[in-house]
Amino acid sequence: MSDAMTDPLLAEIVGPTPGQLLRRRIFGHQGLLIGGTVVALLVLVAIFAPLLAPHDPYAQSLMARMKPPVFLGGTWEHPLGTDHLGRDYLSRLIYGARVSLMIGLVAAVISGLIGSVMGICAGYFGGKVDAVVTFLINVRLAMPVVLVALAVVAILGGSLTVMVSVLGLLLWDRFAVVLRASTRQVREREYVAAAKSIGASTPRILLAEILPNIVNNLIVVVTLEMAHAILLEAALSFLGLGVQPPTPSWGLMVSEGKNMMLFEPWLVMIPGTVLFVLVLGINLMGDGLRDVAAPENRS
Amino acid sequence: MADRLLTVRDLVIDIPVGGGTLHAVRGIDFELDRGEVLCIVGESGSGKSLTSLALMGLLGKRIKPRATQMDFDGTALLSASKKTMRSLRGARMSMIFQEPMTSLNPAYTIGDQLMEAMLLHRDVPRAEARARAVELLEKVGITAAESRLGQYPHQLSGGLRQRVMIAMALMCGPELIIADEPTTALDVTIQAQILRLLVDLVREMGMAMILITHDLGVVARVADKVAVMYAGELVETGPAKEIFEAPMHPYTRGLLRCIPLPGKTKRGSELGTIPGIVPSLVGRVSGCVFRTRCTFATEACRGDIPRHLRGPQAFRCVLDDGGLSQEKQEVQA
Amino acid sequence: MTAPVLELRNVVKTYSVKQGLMGRPKPLTAVKDVSLSLGRSEVLGLVGESGCGKSTLAKILLGLEAPTSGEVLVDGEALGAQDRLKLARRIQPIFQDPYSSLNPRKSIADIISLPLRVHGIGDAASQKQAVREILDVVGLPSRVMNTYPSQMSGGQRQRVAIARALIMKPEIVICDEPTSALDVSVQSQILNLLGELRREFGLTYLFISHNLAVVEHLATRVAVMYLGRIVEEAETGDLFDNPRHPYSRALLKSVLTPEPGLGVPDTQLGMAYPNPINPPSGCAFHPRCPLATELCKTRAPRPVPQDGGFVECHLYDRETEMFEQA
């Protein structure tokens, strides 16, 4: 068998690493690529808002009110026109991305922390802990998010901080439900028993053995809840109980534009479209991540 | 003149995968007479389960099996219409799977599931189907059969569920039963009971059975004919007695040396092994696939492999004695 | 006989099982007053059907479950579940399913060195060296260190699991069906490896398996378990030549050796494995036993010493005979 190296059947079977497989799946998934690109672009816009915005988003100019966007016969001075106070619409839109993404991200992180801790503990420890967490989840699910948020904002007054905290404290239910279920599954794997019989401590098992195997699900829920939070912010701002003027927020822009909707529909259409694109992008990314992270659950 | 029920010639199953084509089954031949038990034995990835699914027409849309001939009692299975296949499946040929828990629907009673196939294929009144179900449950050794009809799968133990599966497979009086690892999930005492039952029923009803397993013990005790499968090819076929007493292919001999025999193998002694792992079957596969793990492999193993006949036994190897004489010399040296 | 390395004294494990939504929890006794002892470099084979309590016993030994009563002694020292770290240095497991026993997100080096890191033994460099050495012992090349479980075959994974179990140099290894998920040709490699390691390191095994041919090959003593009790214990040769308990006989009879022409044996067993929540009265085996008498239905048998072991059956109990005559 001197020619062992040249026999094609003998080529050693070493499969790709999990990392390589993941990369292959990511670049083979169109939804994920499109969604990811949209989200990445909007994140860049938000980060570099001061460089990209042609005007100060707060600068009012009564001389230049309600200028139409270029595609409706406006000038390049204000590519997307100006609003009823003469503020540059494009600049407000760009700064609005900051508000939306900020709220989405921070609310998802807060609720993710609360929900993950609850879900993982319930799933891993079971018994009484599980009973308590399940009860809390049910209580939370019985509360209508929008009404509670409205009530809180009405009492405390609307601001970015209040909005983010309220949404963060309300949207943890899906994290808890999903992570509880996946933790229960992973808990039964023999590698967890192996780690226990090695003498590994409970925090070590939770963080080093269980968490890496459920982090896929966590990421998916983060994206879904981000989209959820962004939409809720827009809705609350539209109702006038969210972010307060003059802060540029897409929901607020829709709200401010609604009085003139019949004559200047673009005032509503433009922020509405951007909002739609962002949420769609996040959802595409979330679905994509779910497919990529757990290909065995698909077929 | 034997009563031929199934003939398979040059069955090929290719599976499209990410980086090319997986040549899972490559040109296998076998035939089966009524009243015979054929065991297809092989390790995981040998293609034995795919072969059985191809016979039942259950491979799915993505995988198209090819063969020069695949006839079940005069019906060409590969060119048969979906309707013909449906009327064959469950009626004239039926299958028993490994995991009785997942193959029974938890939402329906045992009785409903037993009668379903018969009501579907035969135009019989419900009472007759029910009577048949009770008769078969008693036949497979289930006590209080009448009352079991109203029970759900989760109320039965693993052994009982597998008996129900067997009864279900027999409902329409099939001519061919394909059992894929029917006892692998069961305890040893239950395994012996179930196998005994299956073999008795096959003999009594004059059916033919294809039993797919990795357990050489099961094969030896149940089979009339044995087909040893390795990496998608039948490396050796023949009557059970010959295969176990005078195995010719190096793989068959290697396998038999791997298992300890109570009372024969010296306790604690080194068991035989087959070094290496099954080669990848993606891409072009030629020559003898066992050459990467065979002690007698030479350059010639990459070329065409002749088929040798020894009485009823057949094997594929470049050496016309499968390396037996070489092996004897090594033992003497 | 030398002092036992591992001893179980009157171990009982009871779970409470809820039946249905409104049902009251009922006790399920998985292990009923089991006493066992293992001498150094002995291999005790533990056989029995699924649900007989053999895996619960393994979990108790590994400190994964605390016994309801009774104690576990290692080198004569009683160890509770609270001494998990101590227990871990001496007893290590090899599990059945090499596809579930290795964390798919960790590299092979991480998996094998985990015990060293948990116990804070050595620095990163010496841990790496230890991994390299143990890989060599289990017959894997050191270049697999940076690969992941999904890149390996079942046999290779089981070697990794063995390496992880041995890196702390334990005295006792609990092998829970270590080869039942593997192909025949791979199974023999792993069995050979386990045999070699025992000779080389003087390891003691508790070998749990339903494959009696494998148990016969590897074990020095065998304990047969039925419904939470050990019903017979004997030297391996003795048990296989002369099984005493009717259940042991049925088990041995159902072994399908690859000898053509013998047909499938008739075990003469009733088939119903009893529900452990409602165990049968008297001898738990009586509903399936071909030799059961009236006495078996009412009175549980006691362990009756036989040479080198014991059997728990009325057929072998002198006192029973006297009782029946009276």
Tell me the nearest-neighbour CA distance from C217 into chain A, angstroms: 26
Residue of C105, C111, C116 for testing the chain A interface, max A β-carbons within 10 Å: C105
Give the mean pLDDT of B117-127. Answer: 85
Q: Do A190 and C106 touch (CB under 8 A)?
A: no
Has residue A62 got a pLDDT over 60?
A: yes
Query: Does residue C261 sit within a domain?
Result: no
Tokens of A289: 């991540």
Closest C-alpha among B183, B179, B240, B236 to residue B210: B179
Residue with tokens 């075990």: C267
CB pairs under 8 A between B and C: 141
**Residue range A213-243, pLDDT digits in tens:** 888 889 889 988 988 888 888 888 888 777 7
Could you tell me the pLDDT band of residue B21, with boundaries at 50, 70 and 90?
confident
B258, B260, B263 ranked by CB distance to C185: nearest: B258
Cβ atoms of residues C212 and C52 within 8 Å: no
Quick one: pLDDT band at residue A51, thresholds 50, 70, 90? confident
Substitution target in A14, A191, A211 with the highest count of C β-carbons within 10 Å is: A191
With CA atoms as reference, the chain C residue closest to B262 would be C213
Average the pLDDT over B268-272 and give the result.
86
Residue A4, pLDDT score: 39
- B276: which 2 tokens? 């290496």
* pLDDT at residue A137 in the model: 93
CB-CB contact of C1 with C39 (8 Å): yes
Q: Which of C50, C214, C257, C278 to mutate to test the interface with B (most CBs of B within 10 A)?
A: C257
pLDDT digits (tens, 9 = 90+) for A250-286: 888 888 888 887 888 888 888 889 889 999 999 898 8
What is the crossing angle of helices C124-137 and C108-118, to 10°?
Answer: 120
Query: What letter represents residue C252's amino acid?
Result: L
Distance CA(B59)–CA(B81), nearest Å, equals 15
**Yes or no, beta carbons of C150 and A15 under 8 Å apart:** yes
What pLDDT does C326 receive? 59
B118 with B171: CB under 8 angstroms?
yes
Residues 6+ apart with CB under 8 A from C157: C98, C99, C101, C102, C149
- How many angstroms separate the CA of residue B225 from the nearest CA in chain C? 11
In 3D space, the residue among C211, C285, C218, C224 whose CA is nearest the CA of residue C255 turns out to be C211
Residue B156's closest chain C neighbor by CA? C272
Q: Please indicate, yes or no, if residue C1 is contained in any of the structural domains.
A: no
Q: What is the mean pLDDT of residues A30-44?
A: 90
Task: Please give the model's pTM, rounded to 2 decimal places.
Answer: 0.83
**What proportion of chain A, given as a percentage, has pLDDT over 70?**
92
Domain of C18, in residue numbers: 6-256+266-325
**C: neighbours with 3+ CB pairs under 8 Å?**
A, B
pLDDT of residue B148: 86
**Across the interface, which of A16, A197, A213 has its CB nearest the CB of C64?**
A197
Distance (Å, whole) CA A157 – CA B18: 56
What residue in C sits closest to B221 (Cα-Cα)?
Answer: C263
| Per-residue model confidence (pLDDT) at position B140 | 80
- From C50, C183, C214, residue closest to B44, measured CB to CB: C183
The verdict on ipTM greater than 0.90 is: no
H-helix or E-strand spanning residue B169: helix B158-170
Q: Could you tell me if residue C98 is inside a domain?
A: yes
For the sheet with C204-208, list strands across it.
Answer: C91-94, C172-176, C204-208, C43-47, C221-226, C229-235, C309-311, C304-306
Chain A: closest CA distance from residue B261 (Å): 31
Q: At C234, which CATH number? A: 3.40.50.300
Helix then strand then coil, % of chain C, to nearest 5: 35, 20, 40
Count how many domains chain C has.
1
SS3 content of chain A, % helix, strand, coil (to 5): 75, 0, 25
Q: What is the pLDDT of residues A86-103, one digit of tens each?
A: 788 888 888 888 888 888
Q: Other C-beta atoms within 10 Å of A189: how many?
A: 21
CA dihedral C99, B157, C44, C37 (to 10 degrees): 120
C-beta of residue C13 within 8 angstroms of C-beta of residue C54? no
Residue in chain C lying closest to B222 (CA):
C263
Mean pLDDT of B255-276: 85
Residue C177 counted as domain residue: yes
Q: Which C residues in the span 91-120 are in contact with A, Cβ-Cβ below 8 Å?
A: 91-93, 95-97, 100-106, 111, 114-115, 118-119
Q: What percent of chain B has pLDDT over 70?
A: 98
Contact A17 C103 (CB under 8 A): no
C100: nearest CB among A191, A201, A204? A191
Lowest mean pLDDT among A119-128, B270-279, B313-322: B270-279
Q: Are C47 and C222 in contact (CB under 8 A)?
A: yes
Structure tokens at A224: 């879904």
- Looking at the DSSP bridge assignments, the partners of residue A88 are A82
Q: For residue C38, how many other CB atoms are within 10 A of its CB?
A: 22
Q: Which of residues 19-48 of A touch B (CB under 8 A)?
A: 24
What pLDDT score was predicted for residue A299? 31
Q: Suggest the residue from C82, C95, C114, C176 to mutate for an interface test with chain A (most A CBs closer than 10 A).
A: C114
Chain A contact for C164 (CB, 8 A cutoff)? yes
Region B98-112 average pLDDT: 80
Residue with tokens 């009339």, as numbered in its chain: B224
Put simply, whether C127 touches A (Cβ < 8 Å) is no
Helix ranges restricted to H, B206-231 = 216-222
Q: Which comes out higher in pLDDT, residue B95 or C81?
A: B95
Among A9, A11, A24, beta carbon nearest to B289 = A9
Helix (H) or strand (E) holding B210: strand B208-213
A13 CB neighbours in chain B (<8 A) are 277, 279-280
Q: Out of B277, B284, B292, name the one closest to residue A7 (CB).
A: B292
pLDDT of residue C323: 64
| b/e per residue B273-299 (b: at least 16 CB within 10 A) | bbeebbbbbbeebebbbbbbbbebbee
Q: Which of residues 300-319 of B touch A (CB under 8 A)?
A: 302
Query: If you measure CA to CA, which chain C residue comes closest to A196?
Result: C64
Partner B contacted by A15 (CB < 8 A):
no
Top-confidence residue, B185 or C92: C92
Nearest CA distance, C215 vs chain A (angstrom): 23
φ, ψ for residue B179, nearest 5 deg: -115, 115
Half-sphere exposure of A155 (CA within 13 A, CB side): 6
Query: Under an 8 A CB cutoff, do B284 and A10 touch?
Result: no
Average pLDDT, chain A: 83
Tokens 């990467």 belong to residue: B292
pLDDT at B182 over 80: yes
User: Which is more confidently placed, C163 or A6?
Assistant: C163
Q: Are A83 and A89 in contact (CB under 8 A)?
A: yes
**Which chain B residues have a beta carbon less than 8 Å from that of A8?**
283-284
In whole angstroms, how far apart are CA C273 and each of A171, C58, C232, C276, C298?
49, 21, 18, 9, 19
pLDDT for A134: 93
Name the interface residues of A facing C (CB cutoff 8 Å): 13-18, 21, 189-191, 193-201, 204, 209, 212-213
Nearest Cα of chain A lies from the Cα of C32 at a distance, in angstroms, of: 23
- Whether B291 and A11 lie within 8 Å, measured CB to CB: no
Show the tokens assigned to A109.
């992180």
Q: What is the pLDDT along chain C (326 residues), one digit of tens a residue?
A: 567 888 899 999 998 876 655 667 788 888 999 998 898 889 999 998 877 888 889 888 888 888 899 988 888 888 765 577 888 888 899 988 888 899 988 899 999 999 999 988 889 999 999 999 999 888 888 888 888 888 888 888 899 999 999 998 899 999 998 888 888 888 898 899 999 999 999 999 999 988 888 999 999 999 999 999 999 999 999 999 999 999 999 988 888 888 888 888 887 776 566 777 788 888 888 888 888 888 888 888 888 888 778 999 888 887 666 666 65
Q: From the list B277, B285, B299, which residue is nearest A13 (CB)? A: B277
**CB-based contacts of C152, cutoff 8 Å, min separation 6:** C108, C144, C160
How many Å is the Cα radius of gyration of chain C?
Answer: 21
Nearest CA in chain A to C108: A17
Q: How many CB pairs (< 8 A) connect A and B? A: 21
> How far off is chain B from A287, nearest CA to CA, in Å?
22
CB B242 within 8 A of CB C258: no
| CB–CB contact B268 C195 (8 Å) | yes
| Cα(C193)–Cα(C201) distance, integer angstroms | 12
The reported pLDDT for the residue numbered A296 is 44
Q: pLDDT digit string (tens) for A138-155?
A: 999 998 888 888 888 888
Joined tokens for residue C267: 């075990």
Domains contained in chain A, CATH given: 88-294 (1.10.3720.10)
Q: Domains, chain B, ranges and CATH?
A: 4-92+172-332 (3.40.50.300)
Q: What is the pLDDT of residue C295?
A: 87
Task: Count CB-CB contacts under 10 A for residue A28.
Answer: 12
Cβ density class B12-45: b for 16+ within 10 Å, e for less: bbbbeeeeeebbbbbebbbbbeebbbbbbbbbeb
B292 vs chain A: nearest CA distance in angstroms? Answer: 6
- Nearest CA-CA partner of B235 in B66, B40, B86, B91: B40
CB contact under 8 A, A13 and B283: no
For chain C, the residue count is 326
Which residues are CB-neighbours of B214 under 8 A, at least 6 positions away? Answer: B41, B42, B43, B44, B181, B184, C183, C184
